[in-house]
Structure 1
Amino acid sequence: MVKKRKTSKQKITADAKERRPYFIWSILIPLILVLLFALYHYRAGITYYIGAVFNTNSAYSDKEKNKHDARNIFLMTGHQEKIFGIDISAYQGEINWPDVQTINDSFPIDFIFVRATMGATKQDDKFAENWKSVAGRNKIRGAYHYFRPNENSLKQARNFIQTVKLHPGDLPPVLDIEEKPRSQPMDSLKVGLKRWLEVVEKHYKVKPIVYSGDSYFSDFLEKEFKEYTLWIANYNFWVEKPKDHWHFWQFSEKGSVKGITGPVDLNMYNGDIEALERLCIPFR
């Protein structure tokens, strides 16, 4: 019997079948290595998260807290070259300041923003106490004003200036804008924001920081205020790193800090401690 020779097409098909396992493994091995590296790199957050999900002895509220803690640990572990801080107000109540050292007992707190004023006439009930206490904890501190769109911007600037005494080594003053105006167009609001910023900059002789939500800033403020140092809030689970123009990133509103009862806002500075110190009011 004459043995049939393989056609060129059959030979190509056979060769392809022989090469297929090598091709598959050439893809799988790098993917497995990347996965193993990610599991090791984020092991603290992953372990915390798994424990939170499967801990049947915890109350529902504890499970929710643990899930947020897991995400925060996961994120901070991936940015250990950055520095972290918190922001506080009267909502945090009485704070046991000697215990306020780290986030989740692992990540040092290097800076603290304190709410000072709100609108044209209001002061945070805990500002004086918190402001003095932060100074005694060897942390870089900053003060912020919560801007109310429907109140006079110049009166709001004076309220902040009369309440806050900044010193060399403190962070620049912060304008917090989150609300949309009820009785004026956005263009008028922007004029008011500019007035606040100009008056405050003239008084303290340092350019203020602008705080806002990610979508609020990109939708309404980016064109006119992009030259300012920006502090942006975005709690989206899928956002794992700050954008280049975010100088500060408020990545969680449900952080855990020993010494503070209840959730705390967590922040990341998009740089190292030396860069943050250069941002502070200089020693003249």
Structure 2
Amino acid sequence: MRKTNSRSRTSRKRKSPNWKPWLWALFSMLLVFAAAYHYREGLAYYFSFKSHVNDKEEKEARRVSMIRNVEIMSRHSGNVLGVDVSEYQGRIDWEQVGKIENNFPIGFVLIRATAGNDRPDNMFSDNWKNAKAHHFIRGAYHYYRPDENSLEQAKLFIKTVQLRRGDLPPVLDIEKLPKGQPIDSLKMGLRRWLIQVEAHYGVKPIIYSGEKYYNDFLKEAFRGYKFWIANYNFFEEKIRKDWLFWQFTEKASATGIDGPVDVNVFNGNRLQLEWLRVGQ
């Protein structure tokens, strides 16, 4: 018997348009515009100087860093800005020192004096004298090595640094964890350094560290001290209430200084910085 094929009609559903790619594109554009508006100060500054920047300086990291630096400094127009320097900046042309990113005035300079128990910074003497001679508010800091004797480190700093009226309080820079001792022993060593230095100069030192180190090991243990905190997080935009200084970048430019330099915000205005100075 012959089979008859019956054609079944299938109704095709009309496909609804796929809006997801368009929504993602719109969302991405909104993010770009929001970021551009948020960092408008930095972008405007960067593009105003773009014609003077050569190809090497247009690398992405430098562009992003410059935009953020300008934005942060613009947001802290009522605060005092400063740099910190060491032998790693080489010989500084102090006659030219004055502006960060060609625009923002330098109000203070923090200078590395010593590292560990045996080594003064090679450029400390030159930087210390010139900062004073060029009328900058200056301060000195010690880079602490956790596995070296704390009292010997304090003695080296005291021997190297002669604070004068108007200088900033001494600074203890602690960044590394010890290799051969527990954290409690490290804290004891830090206290010994701080007590010895305070007894000599008659002024309470400031402690410098990174934000994580500060939160994990220092914040609770050294409640009576003021802190200078390093935090380079791109999304950190304002100095926090419990930070005396905020080091927000290590990749800024400053007149008179070759190569990148650290920049810091003081948590106050010029008058408040004056009150912090030794003998004020």
TM-score (norm 1): 0.82
- The one of 114, 132, 135 equivalent to 1:117 is 114
Equivalent pairs counted in the alignment come to 248
| Cα distance in structure 1, aligned partners of 2:78 and 2:57 | 34
Which blocks of at least 5 consecutive residues in structure 2 are unaligned? 1-32
- The answer for the alignment partner of 1:180 in structure 2 is 177
**Partners of 2:39 and 2:68 within 8 A in 1:** no
Match of 2:42 among 39, 42, 45: 45
Alignment of 1:26-37 (within 5 A): none
Other-structure match for 2:149: 152
Q: CA deviation at 1:69?
A: 1.2
Partner of 1:281: 278
Q: Which amino acid aligns with 1:253?
A: E
Distance 1:226 1:240 in 2: 24
Matching residue of 2:215: 218
Q: Aligned residue for 2:256? A: 259
Gaps of at least 5 residues in structure 1 are 1-35
With over 3 angstroms needed to count, the CA separation of the structure-2 counterparts of 1:156 and 1:239, relative to structure 1, is same
- Structure with more helix by fraction: 1
AA aligned to 1:196 is: W
Matched, 1:80 2:80: no
Residue of 165, 184, 187 corresponding to 1:168: 165
- What's the CA shift string for 1:151-196, capped at 9, x where partnerless? 0000000000000000010000000000000000000000000000
2:140 aligned with 1:143: yes
Specify the code of the residue in structure 1 equivalent to 2:221: E
Supply the AA of the counterpart residue of 2:244: H
- Cα gap change, 1:37 to 1:276, in 2 (>3 Å): farther
Question: Residues 64 and 51 from structure 1, CA distance in 2 versus in 1: closer, same or farther, beyond 3 angstroms?
Answer: farther
Moved over 6 A (4+): 36-41, 50-53
Percent identical across equivalent pairs? 50
Matched, 1:94 2:94: no
Amino acid at match of 1:157: A
8 Å Cα contact 1:42/1:78 also seen in 2: no
Asked if structure 2 preserves the Cα contact closer than 8 Å seen for 1:115 and 1:127, the reply is yes
User: Which amino acid in 2 is paired with 1:147?
Assistant: Y
What is the TM-score of this pair, normalised by structure 2?
0.83
